[in-house]
Chain A
Amino acid sequence: MSRLRVAAARERRPLAERVAAACLAASMVGTVGLGATYWLGGQPQLEGGFLFLALAGIGVGIVTWGKYLVPQGPYVQDRPPMASPDPEVEAMNDSLGRGLGQMTRRRFLLRLLGGSVGVFAVVNLFPFLRSLGPLPGKSLFVTNWKKGSRLVTASGRVVTASDLEVGGILTVFPEGFEGAPTNAIDQVVLVRAASYDLVTKPGRETWGPQGYLAFSKVCTHAGCPVGLYQELTQQLLCPCHQSLFDVLTGATPVFGPAPRPLPQLPLYVDPQGGLRSQSGFDEPIGPGFWERGA
């Protein structure tokens, strides 16, 4: 070690001791501040600030101690290879094989042991999983929309043909199912397009009376509510992954990852002027799953 370095280390030592002491004292100030803030009712910014001071004081104090007031080496230590010497490995293998030589049908017994534990695991896994929830059955194929279901708002108010101006949008549910949890699946977005008795696709001549078009609000991509309507372009946007659906052509996806159109709900206007569904959806709503095809 050079003369200079020794001198520098000698000078640094009292300074480091002073710094460590100051930090530890500052920490105590922080802790007292934190306690006072808490006692007086709490305040998030002050709590965070004082907690910072309390912890940082201890931290910097200890690190100063550990870096300038104790020997730093560098020290060296040998590092033997991880693998043990051969005799030790052989001894281990001898112990591992203990007793195996005594059995005549050990392979058969081992297989039987594996089989019994395996069967136990598999058979018991099924009831465990099954207890967690019901089988999906047909529930992904159906909603609560039936023939003649009245369209109602989230608060249960019946929707009539005079409710929406052209360009308006409303989220509706089948009457009786407007609450949680079924509203997650049954939610439908109702828009009123400019044209009268709009045909979105061949075969849907009667589905959009007085320009009212109803689509499942559950995105066919990942299931988010398709909540934004751009009146000018008559497009529905899903804000989760930016899929865009063209309302006038039957909510076909025109941009983004959504692979299928939003299923359309056929509507009619009853004699009292209320909007109702002609039937349920003609395909499963929402994101894809294994048990359905195109």
Chain B
Amino acid sequence: MSTLEERAAQAAGFADERLGVARFTRKSLNKIFPDHWSFMLGEIALYSFVVLIFTGVFLTLFFVPSSQQVIYHGSYAPLRGQRMSEAYASTLNISFNVRAGLVMRQIHHWAADVFIAAIVVHLLRIFFTGAFRKPRELNWVIGTTLLILAIVNGFIGYSLPDDLISGTGIRIAFSILLSIPVIGSYLAFFIFGSNFPGTSIIPRFYILHVLILPALIAALIGAHLAIMWHQKHTQYPGPGRTERNVVGIAFWPAYALQAGGFFFITAAVLAALGGLVQINPIWLYGPYVPYKVSYAVQPDWYMGWLDGALRLMPSWEAVFGPTIGGHMIPNVFFPAVLLPGVTFGLLFAWPWIESAVTRDRSEHNLCDRPRERPIRTSVGVGVLMFYIVLFLASATDVLANTFETSLNLVLWTLRVLLFVLPVLSGFVTYLLVREIEHLPAVGVPKTAVEIRRTVDGKFELAGLAPGGAAEEEITELPEEAARAKSGLGLPTEAEGGAVQLRQEGGLL
């Protein structure tokens, strides 16, 4: 009976004899990861994506991506005898007849909503702490691309069931494509395979949703993680933390166990949501019929800002010439094409915009605290507020009903707030941040002290209580330190490569 250690060494030895991975494995296992709750936001996105893949594969086994019209004879009585697409009928089948089908469908939908939410919050963390600065601009660009792909694939995904609400969403998407100057009508006809609605869009959306976009997303996530691994994670400033080191837990086993466990916790929360909280009950909406529409419908949350922009836009459009022979830039172009174009364009360019303004071209591995950057922080808050107002605007009808007021009042209030709130919130943020600057000891963790009363009634300081921050001693990994001391000559990850290169460079 061999010990656990011996068996692990045996397995690793098997791999090393065939692949020569001892050095690479040691370096990887000894990698140091800074630890902070805000570094888990991206992990939530990653783990939601894994859940999306698992549940999505299950759904592909039963979903029929076809606009073919059929008469429903399934087990959901209220819709029996109705004409509907095979896509809708098969979604009903998944929901009511496939064992565990409904829970899988709902976990998939929840995971998509959480996936995009986690990406957005992760992006905000990166933005407000300046973690996009050199050398991490490329990962910022990849991350922004992932956000766009996730939003597009989310929209396409909830369009697939071909229910009354999502079908109306596809109709709006056709109109948005149509609104692009010069190429719009061609683009719309090529994507839909005909004038709206045609019969091609469900199968085409399907192959985009289950193969092309997930493959792109998976590849970009791979690149995102590989770059993060290679560049090493940023860390917050603190005792012993510098631009030139990484302080945290070792990858093996602490980080691996914590991150692996967090995957299961994320999946567990999504499972609970999918089982217990109803989402997208398409059987209540009915099948898509082009001349029918329901009232008070909102898209999934991540499309809200675009829907809100469509609602707040005044009834303008740019017209050149007569109906026949003239040209037009339609109303929806401005909120639904130009606005997202500018939004994502600025988002992509932000690292370079900021470095052009600050003239800072140096490498940064310590995160900023938001209060240290009053301008970036207030610009961020203001811009965020702009999109929050747009998001609220996608519920103008619901707000008017809830507050028993007129749609007119709600619309004009939001139109005004769209421009006033960003300026106001940005300004207030700026004032608050400047205010904090002048307060001493803000953000310095207070260390707990223990005071004891002696037998003769005096008080004395007994030293720092458990968990006091000042106690923390930062050491090298014991294994690496021992190796360095024994002079075995194994280069550590940090110095090894560089030293060797310098020697080779000398020979050149």
Residues of A within 8 A of B (CB): 1-2, 4-5, 8, 38, 41-42, 44-49, 51-56, 58-67, 70-82, 84-88, 90-91, 129-130, 132-136, 139-141, 154, 171, 180-181, 183-185, 187, 217, 221-225, 227-228, 238-243, 253, 255-260, 283-284, 286-294
Contacts and interface: CB of A to CB of B under 8 A. Distances in A.
Interface string B62-92: 0000000100000000000000000000000
B63 to A, nearest CB: 18
B192 interface: yes
B494 A61 contact: no
A289 B185 contact: yes
A253 B315 contact: yes
Interface in B88-121: 99-100, 102-103, 106-107
Contacts of A91: 505, 508
A292 B310 contact: no
Interface string B475-502: 1111000000000000011110110011
A257 B291 contact: no
Contact of B181 (A70, A238, A290): A290
B146 interface: no
Interface in B210-258: 231-232, 240, 243-250, 253-258
Q: Most chain-A Cβ atoms within 10 A of its Cβ — which of B32, B246, B263, B291?
A: B291
B327 A66 contact: no
B55 to A, nearest CB: 11
Nearest to A81: B363
A120 B143 CA distance: 32
Given A66-B257, A257-B314, A257-B315, A4 B465 contact: yes
A181 B172 contact: no
A222 B175 contact: yes
B466 A187 contact: no
B294 A239 contact: yes
Given A41-B99, A74-B247, A224-B168, A79 B190 contact: no
B296 interface: yes
A258 to B, nearest CB: 6
Nearest to B174: A223
Given A52-B272, A242-B311, 10 more contacts: A42-B99, A44-B106, A74-B472, A87-B502, A154-B291, A228-B295, A238-B293, A288-B332, A290-B182, A294-B322
Q: Most chain-A Cβ atoms within 10 A of its Cβ — which of B174, B182, B331, B495?
A: B331
B494 A223 contact: no
Contact of A290 (B267, B327, B506): B327
B311 A75 contact: no
Interface stretch (B6-14, B197-205, B352-360): B197-205
Across chains A and B, which 8 residue pairs bring their CB atoms closest together, nearest first?
A48-B275, A293-B326, A66-B257, A87-B505, A288-B330, A59-B264, A78-B494, A62-B261
Nearest to A178: B291
Given A88-B501, A284-B323, A133 B292 contact: no
B390 interface: no
B471 interface: yes
B316 A259 contact: yes
A84 B407 CA distance: 61
Contacts of A1: 471, 473
A287 B397 contact: no
B332 A222 contact: yes
Given A1-B471, A290-B182, A63 B245 contact: no
B494 A4 contact: no
Contacts of B275: 44-49, 51-52
B46 to A, nearest CB: 15
Contacts of B465: 4
Contact of B291 (A45, A66, A225, A228): A225
Interface of B: 30-32, 35, 69, 99-100, 102-103, 106-107, 135, 168, 171-172, 174-176, 178-186, 188-200, 231-232, 240, 243-250, 253-258, 260-269, 271-276, 290-297, 307, 310-317, 319-332, 335, 363, 365, 396-397, 407-408, 411, 450, 463-467, 471-478, 492-495, 497-498, 501-502, 504-506, 508
A47 B106 CA distance: 12
Nearest to A46: B275
Contacts of A51: 103, 268, 271-272, 274-275
Given A44-B103, A66-B256, A224-B171, A239 B295 contact: yes
Given A73-B248, A135-B189, A42 B100 contact: yes
Given A62-B260, A85-B505, A135-B189, A289 B184 contact: yes
Contacts of A183: 290-291
A254 to B, nearest CB: 10
B498 A80 contact: yes
A195 to B, nearest CB: 26
12 contacts: A49-B275, A55-B267, A80-B244, A80-B497, A87-B501, A222-B176, A223-B172, A225-B293, A227-B291, A238-B293, A259-B315, A294-B322
B496 to A, nearest CB: 10
A231 to B, nearest CB: 16
A272 to B, nearest CB: 26
Given A2-B471, A85-B498, A283-B323, A257 B171 contact: no
A70 B249 CA distance: 10
Nearest to A283: B323
A34 B27 CA distance: 40
Contacts of B102: 44
B290 A225 contact: yes
Q: Most chain-A Cβ atoms within 10 A of its Cβ — which of B107, B171, B240, B319?
A: B171
B193 A133 contact: yes
Contacts of A141: 324
A283 to B, nearest CB: 5
A84 B328 contact: no
Given A48-B271, A82-B135, A255 B407 contact: yes
A170 to B, nearest CB: 11
Contacts of B184: 289-290
Nearest to B243: A79
A20 to B, nearest CB: 10
Given A223-B196, A257-B315, A290-B182, A75 B327 contact: no
B331 A259 contact: yes
Given A136-B186, A225-B290, A2 B464 contact: yes
Given A75-B32, A287-B175, A293-B327, A242 B261 contact: no
Nearest to B472: A74
Given A76-B240, A82-B135, A154-B291, A59 B331 contact: no
Contact of B261 (A66, A72, A283): A66
A180 B69 contact: yes
A259 B330 contact: yes
B272 A222 contact: no
B254 A87 contact: no
Contacts of B316: 259
A281 B210 CA distance: 41
A242 B407 contact: yes
